[in-house]
Amino acid sequence: MSCRGVFIHFFGLFKRLHTSVPSVRALSVSQSVMQNVPGFLWKLGQLNHVAIAVPDLEKARSFYQDVLGARVSKTVLLPEHGVYTVFVELGNTKLELLHPLGKNSPVTGFLQKNKVGGMHHICIEVDDIKAAMAHLKEKKIRILSEEPKIAASFL
């Protein structure tokens, strides 16, 4: 079953355990075991990745690859998202290292508020991204794009 993920942004999660307006950006594609959630038109899957905004992408990449010995992807430029991204494979999930592409990148603003970087978003897989987005919109979760977008994937 092909799945898409939902990026849920929790800005400042490490400083406080809640956010006033979480937002959703669509997505990632992979295979997953889905679980039924009673009353929902979509199924919740596994954690796909946790994205971390970093002020120095090469330093972060080196840490995960050279110090921790993790498998790390090549740097991918995503101009449509305004970021450079590197994926770090961690067994059953991944980290996505994000670095801004220019001053207009959404990650630039995040790093201005969080100088050392930090968790930018999580991606949880779902079986029906459009149904999930509609449900979250009904629950007053801010959606960053009206249509799902395919984002980077690991290696």
- Mind listing the pLDDT tens digit for each residue in 89-119? 998 899 999 999 999 998 999 999 999 999 9
Residue type, 24: V
Q: Return d(Cα 121, Cα 52) in angstroms, integer.
A: 7
What confidence score (pLDDT) does residue 27 get?
A: 44
Q: How far is CA 48 from the centre of its chain?
A: 8
* Region label for 87, one of left (φ > 0), alpha (ψ between -120 and 50) or beta (otherwise): beta
The mean predicted confidence, pLDDT, of the chain is 78
Strands 118-126 and 44-53: antiparallel
Kindly give, in sequence order, each residue whose CB lies less than 8 Å from that of residue 29, ignoring residues fewer than 6 positions away: 2, 3, 4, 5, 150, 153
Mean pLDDT of 40-68: 92
Q: Which residue has the higher pLDDT, 46 or 88?
A: 88
Give me the amino acid identity at 8. I
- For the chain, which domains are there? 3-143 (3.10.180.10)
**Is 16 exposed, middle or buried (CB count within 10 Å of its CB: 0-12, 13-18, 19+)?**
exposed
Residue 85 contacts residue 76 (beta carbons within 8 Å): yes
How does residue 144 score in pLDDT terms, banded at 50, 70 and 90?
Answer: confident
